[in-house]
Amino acid sequence: MSSTNPRGTRRGLVLVFTGEGKGKTTAALGLLLRAWGRGMRVVVIQFLKAETGRWGEVRAAQRLGWEWHKTGRGFTWQHTRPEDDAARARAGWELAQTKIASGQYDLVLLDEFTYPLHYGWLEPRAVVQWLAAHKPPSVHVVITGRHAPPVLLEFADLVTHMRKVKHPFDAGIKAQPGIEF
Amino acid sequence: MSSTNPRGTRRGLVLVFTGEGKGKTTAALGLLLRAWGRGMRVVVIQFLKAETGRWGEVRAAQRLGWEWHKTGRGFTWQHTRPEDDAARARAGWELAQTKIASGQYDLVLLDEFTYPLHYGWLEPRAVVQWLAAHKPPSVHVVITGRHAPPVLLEFADLVTHMRKVKHPFDAGIKAQPGIEF
pLDDT in tens, B149-171: 999 999 999 999 998 888 887 77
For chain A, say whether B87 makes contact (Cβ under 8 Å): no
What's the pLDDT at B180?
77
Closest in B10, B21, B56 to A34, CB measured: B56
In a domain, B4, yes or no: no
In a domain, A1, yes or no: no
Contact A176 B10 (CB under 8 A): yes
What's the pLDDT at A144?
95
Q: How confident is the model at residue A73 (pLDDT cuts 50, 70, 90)?
A: low
Contact A34 B28 (CB under 8 A): no
Residue A40 confidence (pLDDT) above 80: yes
Nearest Cα of chain A lies from the Cα of B65 at a distance, in angstroms, of: 12
Q: Tell me the β-bridge partners of A144.
A: A17
Residue A74 confidence (pLDDT) above 70: no
Residue A164 confidence (pLDDT) above 50: yes
Residue A78 confidence (pLDDT) above 80: no
Residue B6 confidence (pLDDT) above 70: no
The CATH number assigned to the domain holding B96 equals 3.40.50.300
**Range with lowest mean pLDDT among A123-127, A172-176, B144-148:** A172-176
Is the separation of the CB atoms in B17 and B142 below 8 Å?
yes
Is the separation of the CB atoms in A26 and B30 below 8 Å?
yes
Q: What is the residue-averaged pLDDT of chain A?
A: 86
What's the pLDDT at B151?
97
What's the pLDDT at A8?
47
CA distances, B82 to each of A153, B71, B117, B143, B145 (Å): 40, 14, 13, 22, 18
CB atoms within 10 A of CB B64: 18
Domain tally, chain B: 1
Closest in A58, A158, A161 to B168, CB measured: A158
For chain B, say whether A114 makes contact (Cβ under 8 Å): no
Contact A26 B31 (CB under 8 A): yes
In a domain, B52, yes or no: yes
In a domain, B166, yes or no: no
Closest in A157, A165, A178 to B35, CB measured: A178
In Å, how far from its chain's centre is CA B63? 20
Q: Look up the domain containing B133 and give its range.
A: 14-161
pLDDT digits (tens, 9 = 90+) for A49-72: 654 455 788 888 888 999 999 887
Residue A34 confidence (pLDDT) above 70: yes
Residue A94 confidence (pLDDT) above 80: yes
Closest in A15, A153, A177 to B38, CB measured: A177
Closest in B23, B156, B178 to A23, CB measured: B23
For chain A, say whether B37 makes contact (Cβ under 8 Å): yes
DSSP A2-40: -S--TT------EEEEESSSTTHHHHHHHHHHHHHHTT-
What's the pLDDT at A86?
87
Mean pLDDT of all residues in A21-48: 91
For chain B, say whether A14 makes contact (Cβ under 8 Å): no
| Percentage with pLDDT > 70 across chain B | 86
Higher-scoring residue by pLDDT: A178, A3: A178
What's the pLDDT at B7?
42
Query: How would you write chain B as a 3-class SS string?
Result: CCCCCCCCCCCCCEEEEECCCCCHHHHHHHHHHHHHHCCCCEEEEECCCCCCCCCHHHHHHHHHCCEEEECCCCCHHHCCCHHHHHHHHHHHHHHHHHHHHHCCCCEEEEECCHHHHHCCCCCHHHHHHHHHHHCCCCCEEEEECCCCCHHHHHHCCEEEEEEEEECHHHHCCCCCCCCCC
Residue A6 confidence (pLDDT) above 80: no
| Percentage with pLDDT > 70 across chain A | 86
Interface test with B, best of A25, A55, A165 (most B CBs within 10 A): A165
In a domain, A79, yes or no: yes
Residue A126 confidence (pLDDT) above 90: yes
In a domain, B6, yes or no: no
Is pTM beyond 0.90 here?
Answer: no
Name the range with the highest mean pLDDT among A6-10, A54-58, A97-101, B36-40. A97-101
Q: Which residues of A touch B166 (CB under 8 A)?
A: 153, 156-159
For chain B, say whether A28 makes contact (Cβ under 8 Å): yes
Closest chain A CA to residue B14: A168
**Running DSSP on this structure, what letter comes out for residue A78?**
G
Closest in B157, B174, B178 to A106, CB measured: B178
For chain A, say whether B130 makes contact (Cβ under 8 Å): no
For chain A, say whether B41 makes contact (Cβ under 8 Å): no
In a domain, B7, yes or no: no
What's the pLDDT at B3?
41
Mean pLDDT of all residues in A132-148: 96
What's the pLDDT at B4?
41
What's the pLDDT at A177?
81
Q: Tell me the β-bridge partners of B54.
A: none
Contact B174 A17 (CB under 8 A): no
Mean pLDDT of all residues in A126-136: 97
In a domain, A154, yes or no: no
pLDDT digits (tens, 9 = 90+) for B78-118: 555 667 788 889 999 999 999 999 999 999 999 999 999 99
